[in-house]
Amino acid sequence: MSTLVSGGTGRPPRIGIVNLMPNAEQYENWLLPQLALSGPFELQWIRISSRRYNLDDPARIAATYRTYKEATADAPLDGLIVSGAAVEHLPFEEVRFMDELNDMVQDVHAQGSPLLGLCWGAMGVGNLVYGLPKDIYSAKISGMYETELLAQDGPIASSLDDRFWSTHSRFAGFDDKALDASTTVRALARAEGAGTVIAESYDHSVLMHTGHPEYYGSRLAEEYRRDVDQQVAGVRAPVGVDLDQPLRLWRSHSLAFFASWVRLVGDQSAAR
């Protein structure tokens, strides 16, 4: 099912979102408010065909989500977002849906449409398109980190503050030495204690954000309590977060980040 997000005239760009998060509907409610201020676009929720969606209403998933083949049967996508997934602790070759995701990512990339990966999706897209490795951590990176912008040029960097807050919840991240040695990808932003936060290809077609800009204010505190209850190893209290009165200081970054990317998609779509 396609949905027009915001109003507008003319043909809005078609953006697909591969939702790999454990609770699909919950994630929709996190992400859509961030995208709603980005300008009009036609939204296609993309499903992995082998995924069971055990935490969601199957009838709703069937009505809302389409496979990539179904979503592109009448027209190609103008952009693709790959969400985070609870698989960052696994080597890429052990992720069961990697081949299916690769088909989507490579198809969108080959036609020159922008790609955006979030959290594990950033690492997955970086590996599929550029072969970038990741580091798997023994301790979870969780919290709100002051992040430094490393470049001022380009459609994304030019819209961001020199310093901003980013929020993270992950057991893996980019291998920064391998990323810095790349001739196709650069780091746009890094944070002490969290490593590379945003990376992009030099041609701006692939954007990767290892954080969760779509999270709401109390999410990190909730995840910490959940992890403690489940006795997850390597979990520490989230950095910079008051567990009793958590503040969301990354909202402005999130809105600027997503708006810039959607604008890039629209500009490239209009130019074709």
Q: Which residues are annotated as a binding site for substrate?
A: 140, 169, 226
* DSSP annotation string for 65-121: EE-HHHHTSSS--SEEEE---TTTTS-GGG-TTHHHHHHHHHHHHHTT--EEEETHH
- The binding site comprises 140, 169, 226
30's enclosing H/E stretch is helix 24-35
d(CA 255, CA 252): 5
Q: Which residues are catalytic?
A: 119, 212, 214
Contact 210, 173 (CB under 8 A): yes
Written as six digits, the tokens of 144 are 């709100």
d(CA 118, CA 187): 15
| CA-closest candidate to residue 254, choices 246, 262, 243, 264 | 262
| CA-closest candidate to residue 68, choices 24, 123, 131, 14 | 14
d(CA 113, CA 131): 19
Q: Are strands 163-174 and 41-46 parallel, antiparallel or unpaired?
A: unpaired
Q: Measured between alpha carbons, how far is residue 197 from residues 47, 189, 214, 243 in Å? A: 26, 5, 14, 23
d(CA 72, CA 153): 32
